[in-house]
Chain A
Amino acid sequence: MIVGERKPFDEIVGFVRDCKKILIAGCNECVTVCCAGGKKEVGILSSALKMAFSKEGKDLEVKEVTLERQCDPEYVQQLSEYYDQYDAIVSMACGVGVQELAMSYQDKLVFPALNTNFMGASQGQGVWEERCQGCGACVLGRTGGLCPIARCAKSLLNGPCGGSMNGKCEISKDVDCVWQLIIDRLTGLNQLQMLEDIFPVKDWSCAGHGGPRKVVREDLKS
Chain B
Amino acid sequence: MRLTYPDSIRIIRLPCTGKIDVIHMMEAFRKGADGVYVAGCLEGECHYLAGNLRAKKKVEYTRKLLDEIGIEGERIEMYGIAASDGPRFAEVAKEMHEKIMDLGPSPVKRVVRKGVPS
Contact = CB atoms under 8 A, between A and B. Distances in A.
Do A and B actually bind?
yes
Interface string A43-61: 1100110111011110000
Nearest to A125: B54
Interface residues of B, number: 17
A9 B65 contact: yes
Contacts of A54: 30, 108, 111-112, 117
B26 A47 contact: yes
A51 B31 CA distance: 9
- Place the interface of chain A in its size category: 10 to 19
B108 A44 contact: no
B23 to A, nearest CB: 5
Given A51-B26, A54-B30, 18 more contacts: A8-B68, A9-B65, A40-B22, A44-B22, A44-B23, A47-B26, A48-B26, A48-B65, A50-B30, A50-B117, A51-B108, A52-B69, A52-B70, A55-B69, A55-B107, A55-B108, A55-B111, A56-B111
Interface of B: 21-23, 26-27, 29-30, 65, 68-71, 107-108, 111-112, 117
In order of increasing CB-CB distance, the 9 nearest A-B pairs are A9-B68, A47-B26, A57-B111, A54-B108, A55-B107, A43-B23, A52-B69, A51-B108, A51-B30
